[in-house]
Chains A and B, each alone.
Chain A
């Protein structure tokens, strides 16, 4: 039986990773350390927030954006694997190992997240206002939020999320790799069986993680669709990254025949679909808040639509992350002409970062001295809207690159053994897959 499946690969096909993984890990880690140190130096010597947008808080804000960025890619890739098994997909078999490699980065992301968690546990309020003393006295925040938002409980949830994600990723990766050797069909059955509860665990954890890591930046504000919107961005990033990593692996001469234009075309359809999904959820969130016009809720958009500079970021985001790729990715050629598709993937990843930037950065100013000590008590999104400038800083970019480097190191850990599930019963169908 298994011999037949292996035969679905061309005899000349190169699908072994070889030793390239180690180099990638070293390169990624060095890049991470160097860029993180550089960002820390660039963020100036002042602790906390400063008016001109420097200070170590700036470093932490940039770091949070970069970290939630790479986390979203890993989450997107994880769901790719879960959906593959859940619907017994065939076409996505060829690129499934690539997704598994991306989803295998959770442990290293968890370690990277300690940069956020440890200062928090040490009582620092560089990122989250609710870690500030002022929060304890803020009366307009309900009591239950005080319970939920304590550094210790936050850290506990951090552990739960990563236990879930690392556990899910391992469950599927280990079995998938084992099938490479044994060709055992029971492993496929096991994965299919577990994929259904796994998707539920995934949905709950990604929602709550988005609430915790991003939405609590402004703890007075809330939106129930927030997690779904983060999920939409994560799926764009996940599919785009799977396509890019596959292209990179193909450039090394591997997987020449088993990942074809047809697979990129389908990955492109998913990028396209989730581009719209992201916009749909983003608009759903905006629309309800805009229409109800309740000050507690509109404050989020008030800063982003009327803040000097931020309104331009909002417009650029609408066009860049949604309208332009939505119209252009509609054509089958923008998905089938691979250099063009690669450009769209990179484009969407950049705008996904901008989306996170837009979500995170407007909260930054609460501690800035320019707005006086009062804001230490009232928190983010309470100062004059007009004074909430973008204050772009190079640190925002260097921290992003630092975390991409960390992510690359995580990818390197997975670049070993086979780069394709060689004995998966559906591999033949996937390799022969065609779009009509």
Chain B
């Protein structure tokens, strides 16, 4: 390895001795390729060395790094594998940034949907819940991708200090080769180890086929950003504000013109909605209802004791097998009863609910039945009949089948049974402990 490098170096220096030998003074480093005179040269920016192959560039980069330089960079027409490692560039933190960007995207996507759909503007779309994770996944996915891509793209620009419209090395004609077949390494003068003589020697010994000094422009006017760039920035910014201005105008003013329809076939879809008039059918309705003789999947109530409270045409007296009477069921029944029944029948079932009290006051209506009084007859009714009253109503009481699901109806039945029982509780219903506690409480 060592010997190889030395050979390269010998060849390089001997072959290009003519170019590199004058490079000793501080201002006479040009090989004559540039036509400019020295008078417009300012401060020394750095030195640029050219190598004849990517491999040589990698080797030189390693050598420069090992010599302790930090402010140097490599330039090549295409990405050179291994150059990062040779230059001692740390692994980029871009992946970590992208990861954070992606997570932020997910979070913001969900937040946006939550705010729009579930918070600020709750809108019923086909009976879907306003907030539901599956519906939000596609947007969350898109925003994740969007912010990941933005972070990748802009992160790459920022980490690479882009956009860089100009570079001092542009002043050297040799540097144009870097977009074609030149492999260059430049060391900046601001590096602590930089030394006009030693640094060039180092590059030569690293196998450079040419080493050149690069000076900044002497005239401060030439280092300023050209005015037209400011013009471009101002114009594009102004143009970018136009859409916002239009939106603002549309929101703040009134207009009799019809809307713009950007997606006509989305705004006017070739479909009928369920409540529309439709002359295709004799009855003029678009909604065709259920097809006679069919049952939607899951609507088949083949268990009559559960769905109707009937078994072989008779009311069932117990509960259907699929209903398990438990404390939970009673608790549910209590809650449902108090929501659906207590306004009329009263929380205790004696018929003194708000509605009943009011109707008595104004002398109208028929009193609700007392559910817990043996004389009123509900106590002796079979469970199936009570279930049927809840589902379909009785005399002047309306049915609640449309509001209350079957399982909840059975819970109410169980609770009404408990209410009835509670009117005739005997001391023996309590455990010994409960009884003594109750006795103690009421001396």
Contact = CB atoms under 8 A, between A and B. Distances in A.
B296 A291 contact: no
Contacts of A299: 297
B81 A287 contact: no
Contacts of B128: 291
B137 A295 contact: no
B134 A286 contact: yes
Q: Is the interface of A mostly helix, strand, loop or mixed?
A: helix
Contacts of B134: 286-287, 290-291
B137 A287 contact: yes
B99 interface: yes
Contacts of B68: none
B12 to A, nearest CB: 27
B84 interface: yes
A287 B99 contact: no
B298 interface: yes
Report, as a range, how many residues of chain A touch the other chain: 10 to 19
Interface centre among A283, A290, A434, A436 (most CB of B within 10 A): A436
Contacts of A12: none
B298 A295 contact: yes
A377 to B, nearest CB: 13
Contact of B296 (A287, A295, A330): A295
Interface string A5-40: 000000000000000000000000000000000000
A436 B82 CA distance: 8
Given A299-B297, A436-B81, A330 B137 contact: no
Contacts of A436: 81-82, 84
Contacts of A295: 296-298
A291 B135 contact: yes
Interface string B273-303: 0000000000000000000000011100000
B138 interface: yes
Interface string A250-287: 00000000000000000000000000000000010011
B137 A296 contact: no
Given A330-B99, A434-B81, A436-B81, A287 B297 contact: no
Report, as a range, how many residues of chain B touch the other chain: 10 to 19
A287 B138 contact: yes
Contacts of B84: 436
Contacts of B81: 434, 436
Contacts of A291: 128, 134-135
Interface string A282-309: 0100110011000110010000000000
B61 to A, nearest CB: 15
Contacts of A290: 134
B99 A296 contact: no
Interface string A107-145: 000000000000000000000000000000000000000
Contacts of B137: 283, 287
Contacts of B82: 436
A369 to B, nearest CB: 17
Interface string B95-115: 000010000000000000000
A296 B294 CA distance: 14
A436 B6 CA distance: 29
Nearest to A381: B297
Interface centre among B84, B135, B297, B298 (most CB of A within 10 A): B297
A296 B135 contact: no
Contacts of B138: 287
B412 to A, nearest CB: 21
B323 to A, nearest CB: 13
Nearest to A284: B138
B322 to A, nearest CB: 8
A69 to B, nearest CB: 28
A386 B138 CA distance: 30
Nearest to B126: A293
Interface string B418-429: 000000000000
A434 B128 CA distance: 51
A283 B139 CA distance: 13
Contacts of B99: 330
B92 to A, nearest CB: 11
A72 to B, nearest CB: 25
A290 B137 CA distance: 12
A434 B82 CA distance: 10
Nearest to A291: B135
A295 B425 CA distance: 48
Contacts of A296: 297
19 contacts: A283-B137, A286-B134, A287-B134, A287-B137, A287-B138, A290-B134, A291-B128, A291-B134, A291-B135, A295-B296, A295-B297, A295-B298, A296-B297, A299-B297, A330-B99, A434-B81, A436-B81, A436-B82, A436-B84
Given A291-B134, A291-B135, A295-B297, 16 more contacts: A283-B137, A286-B134, A287-B134, A287-B137, A287-B138, A290-B134, A291-B128, A295-B296, A295-B298, A296-B297, A299-B297, A330-B99, A434-B81, A436-B81, A436-B82, A436-B84
4 closest Cβ contacts across the A-B interface? Answer: A295-B297, A290-B134, A436-B81, A295-B298
